[in-house]
Amino acid sequence: MIFTDRSEAGRKLAARLRKYANREDVMVLGIPRGGVPVAFEVAASLGVPLDVFVLRKLGVPEHEELAFGAIASGGVRILDTDIVQGLELSDLDIDLVTAAERKELERRERAYRSGRPPINVRGLTVIVVDDGIATGSSMLAAITALRELKPARIVIAVPVAPPTTCNRLRREVAELVCVEEPEGFYGVGQFYRDFSQVSDEAVNELLDRASRRFRAQKHQDAEPTPTGTIH
């Protein structure tokens, strides 16, 4: 399956998550930047709040698309030892890339959390959404970091990922939901007609829209139902 764009992918993903709809113990977390448009559609369809969880991929020097690990909020770092050893990456290589990506992670946290409280997922079912997963290193970092925040359950939900990655991640979480698990997987972008970059401004706009929508929905649900008088 080829998705038109991230919004369509999010709607198709939401259809696989209907059992979580309208539950007060559920929150959707989008992985910036590309995962946020997908997560926006999921949260809107399920009628649950949306927030972000910041990750940064650690790319191999001069081949940045190939990840040898990832970092996440809270100082978490996950390394793919097979890639690190196979490419003979030195400790200096790893530390230099980590330092650069940590600066960007901190910048994004400031950009997305400005005016917003820290996420609170204690006791909740969190549905972590990205636009796709390749090696799984970034998602493993997210899982490790999220566990420190004491959610009740962690659910991973993505439009596309290779079967080997899905099998690896299923062992780590309560549930993994993936629309497509193709064997011929070279990169997430190959499964989208429009895989253009998502800006920080677009992320914040979607977060604001999701917040307004959710508040309006809660207000509507809280309004008393008018009753007629029977004569």
pLDDT at 176 over 50: yes
Sequence-distant (≥ 6) Cβ neighbours of residue 204 within 8 angstroms: 111, 112
pLDDT at 164 over 60: yes
φ, ψ (nearest 5 deg) of residue 157:
-135, 120
Helix, strand, coil share of the chain (percent; to 5): 45, 20, 35
Residues pairing with 125 in the sheet: 26, 153
Give pLDDT tens digits for 96-145: 999 999 999 999 888 898 778 888 899 999 999 999 999 888 888 889 88
pLDDT at 179 over 60: yes
Instruction: Give the tokens for residue 136.
Output: 């799984």
What pTM, to 2 d.p., does this model score?
0.85
Confidence of residue 222 (pLDDT cuts 50, 70, 90): low
Tally of CA atoms within 13 A in the half-sphere of 211 that contains its CB: 11
- Among the listed residues 132, 165, 146, 166, the one whose alpha carbon sits nearest the alpha carbon of residue 72: 146
176 and 12 Cβ atoms separated by less than 8 Å:
no
Cβ neighbours, 10 Å, residue 127: 27
> Residue holding tokens 């991230």?
6
> Residue holding tokens 């959707």?
28
How high is the pLDDT of residue 1?
87
- Whole-angstrom Cα Rg for the chain: 19
d(CA 153, CA 161): 21
Instruction: Give the tokens for residue 231.
Output: 């004569």
Helix (H) or strand (E) holding 51: strand 50-52
First vs last C-alpha separation in the chain: 59
Give pLDDT tens digits for 46-89: 999 999 998 888 999 988 878 888 888 777 888 888 889 999 99
- What is the mean pLDDT of the segment spanning 147-170? 95
Helix (H) or strand (E) holding 111: helix 91-113
203 and 116 Cβ atoms separated by less than 8 Å:
no
All domains of the chain in start order, with CATH: 6-199 (3.40.50.2020)
d(CA 174, CA 156): 8
> Residue holding tokens 């990169």?
187
Sequence-distant (≥ 6) Cβ neighbours of residue 108 within 8 angstroms: 32, 54, 56, 200
